[in-house]
A and B are shown apart, each in its own frame.
Chain A
Amino acid sequence: AQTVTQSQPEMSVQEAETVTLSCTYDTSESDYYLFWYKQPPSRQMILVIRQEAYKQQNATENRFSVNFQKAAKSFSLKISDSQLGDAAMYFCAYRRAQTSGSRLTFGEGTQLTVNP
């Protein structure tokens, strides 16, 4: 079974600084998706960024970027120029690609605090 591990239950960063959230996963599949979701206090799950395993290039979305290391099964999220609105719980997630409609497996989350 696939597992996703986030080893940092809590992180904090100063406004305008950069922070990196860690994620590792375990799978025997070669084709899959990886995601970072954000859950603010409203508890709405918001997609931050996604990565397709067959793509070597790291995904980037504005201030958010990932460091995808397929061999090491590592998928970290870097947030640049942190803003107060970035404060939230961040979840790393994995999904197989071969089967559409397959399940999404989540890590336990990292609570990010942004200090003014």
Chain B
Amino acid sequence: DGGITQSPKYLFRKEGQNVTLSCEQNLNHDAMYWYRQDPGQGLRLIYYSQIVNDFQKGDIAEGYSVSREKKESFPLTVTSAQKNPTAFYLCASSTRQGGDTGELFFGEGSRLTVL
């Protein structure tokens, strides 16, 4: 079945450590996104990529980094520079091809907790 896979589902990190969240999609979508969700709040955009080897900062990119070396993969690194990284992270993708319905398809999310 086509979809988006995020891993790990739960991750614990000590302060000062970098961690990388994985996002893989087999939907043949060109565009991919990372959102952060804090308790009781909406989703805020961290980074997005419209095509391989290109990505743009979202609203809260500080302390995060991404890469887009393959169409299927868009990993997010939470660096030690991110002051408050404990949150729920959602990856999404969308098509840029004809027939774009505008919809974003989401993974199941990764919960990061800093100890």
A interface residue numbers (CB < 8 A to B) = 4, 6, 9, 33, 35, 42-45, 47, 50, 52, 91, 95, 97, 100-101, 103-109, 111
Q: Are B31 and A101 in contact (CB under 8 A)?
A: yes
Q: Are B42 and A91 in contact (CB under 8 A)?
A: yes
Task: List the A side residues contacting B108 at CB < 8 Å.
Answer: 42-44
Task: List the B side residues contacting A42 at CB < 8 Å.
Answer: 108
B61 to chain A, nearest CB (A): 12
Cβ of B102 within 8 Å of any chain A Cβ, yes or no, is yes
Q: Which listed residue, A33, A50, A104, touches B33 by the CB 8 Å rule?
A: A104
Cβ of B53 within 8 Å of any chain A Cβ, yes or no, is no
User: A50 with B102: in contact, given A44-B108, A108-B42 (CB under 8 Å)?
Assistant: yes
User: A100 with B88: in contact, given A35-B103, A107-B42 (CB under 8 Å)?
Assistant: no
B53 to chain A, nearest CB (A): 14
B82-104 residues at the A interface, CB under 8 angstroms: 88, 90, 92, 94-97, 100-104
A107 to chain B, nearest CB (A): 6
Question: With A and B bound together, what is the CA distance between A76 and B90 in angstroms?
Answer: 25
Task: List the A side residues contacting B96 at CB < 8 Å.
Answer: 100-101
Question: Could you jot down 27 A-B contacts, CB within 8 Å?
Answer: A6-B42, A33-B103, A43-B109, A44-B108, A44-B109, A45-B104, A45-B106, A50-B102, A50-B103, A52-B102, A91-B43, A100-B95, A100-B97, A100-B100, A101-B51, A103-B33, A103-B45, A103-B48, A104-B33, A105-B45, A106-B35, A106-B42, A106-B43, A106-B44, A107-B42, A109-B41, A109-B42
Cβ of B58 within 8 Å of any chain A Cβ, yes or no, is yes
B interface residue numbers (CB < 8 A to A) = 30-31, 33, 35, 40-45, 48, 50-51, 58, 88, 90, 92, 94-97, 100-104, 106, 108-109
Question: With A and B bound together, what is the CA distance between A6 and B88 in angstroms?
Answer: 21
Minimal Cβ-Cβ distance residue in B for A43: B109
Q: Are B41 and A101 in contact (CB under 8 A)?
A: no
Q: Are A104 and B41 in contact (CB under 8 A)?
A: no
